[in-house]
Structures are given as C-alpha cells and as structure tokens.
C-alpha cells in the first residue's frame, strides 16, 4: 500500500463536493448586521459589527447597501459551515489512512511469522 495515495471514498467525494460549493459562494463579509434606533426616524439604521485586532468595531451601513451586506454576512456564515465540513472530512481521511496503515502493518507481521511446528 502506497502511504502517499489517498483512496477515493465517501470522505474524498464529500470533501470535493464541499470545495465546489465554496468555489461557487459569492462575496462574503465577517460580522453581524444589527438595526439601531435613529432619533427622529421611523426606519432603523444598520451597523455591521465585527472584530478587528481583538477589538469590537462597528461600521455604519447605508440603507441602499443593507440587503447586499445581509447577503454577504449569510455567505460568510455558509462559508464557515462549509469549512467545518471540509475539516471534518479531511480528519476522517487522515484517520482512515492511519487505520489502513496499522492494518497493513499487522497483516505484514502475521505473514512474516513462521508457522508453529507441531510436536
């Protein structure tokens, strides 16, 4: 068994499928979009809240960009979910590879033993 070869199985196929989904994902932005009450206005204003160098930052989002920024934040959450899926499948590939290597090693050890002589 070649240790450098990753055999195609359900994890490799699922990982490839998830990577294709990541490639099709549109623009994204990290953060949360939150409404806030503007004095004297019936419509709320919107802030994008995010972390930058360990500090919470807030960015005003103009009304004409709110729908677009909402989609970007949804895309970011979807990206995080997809990254976790790729990670899970990659870990499973490593686990499977190690299990196969151990099994091959045990099999080789059993084959190399000389048969027991009967008295």
In tens digits, what is the pLDDT along the chain, a chain of 119 residues?
454 556 678 888 999 999 999 999 999 999 999 999 988 988 899 999 999 999 999 999 999 999 999 999 999 999 999 999 999 999 999 888 888 888 888 777 778 775 655 55
Q: Is residue 24, in this structure, part of any structural domain at all?
A: yes
CB 59 within 8 A of CB 47: yes
Q: Structurally, how many domains does the chain consist of?
A: 1
**What backbone phi and psi angles, to 5 degrees, belong to 53?**
50, 45
pLDDT value at residue 111 = 80
Q: Is residue 104, in this structure, part of any structural domain at all?
A: no
Q: Is residue 66, in this structure, part of any structural domain at all?
A: yes
CA 12, CA 30: separation in Å to the nearest integer? 28
pTM of the shown model: 0.73
Q: Is 56 helix (H, G, I), strand (E, B) or coil?
A: strand
Q: Is residue 4, in this structure, part of any structural domain at all?
A: no
Q: Is residue 110, in this structure, part of any structural domain at all?
A: no
pLDDT value at residue 1 = 45
Q: Is residue 59, in this structure, part of any structural domain at all?
A: yes
Domain that residue 61 falls in: 10-97
Q: Is residue 2, in this structure, part of any structural domain at all?
A: no
Q: Is residue 105, in this structure, part of any structural domain at all?
A: no
């Amino acid at each position: 068994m070649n240790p450098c070869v990753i055999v195609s199985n359900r994890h490799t196929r699922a990982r490839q499928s998830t990577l294709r989904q990541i490639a099709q994902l549109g623009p994204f932005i990290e953060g949360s979009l939150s409404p806030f009450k503007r004095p004297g206005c019936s419509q709320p204003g919107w802030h994008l809240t995010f972390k930058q160098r360990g500090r919470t930052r807030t960015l005003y989002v103009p009304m004409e960009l709110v729908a677009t920024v909402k989609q970007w934040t949804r895309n970011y959450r979807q990206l995080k979910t997809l990254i976790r899926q790729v990670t899970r499948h990659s870990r499973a590939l490593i686990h499977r590879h190690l299990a196969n290597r151990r099994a091959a090693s045990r099999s080789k050890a059993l084959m190399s033993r000389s048969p027991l002589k009967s008295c």
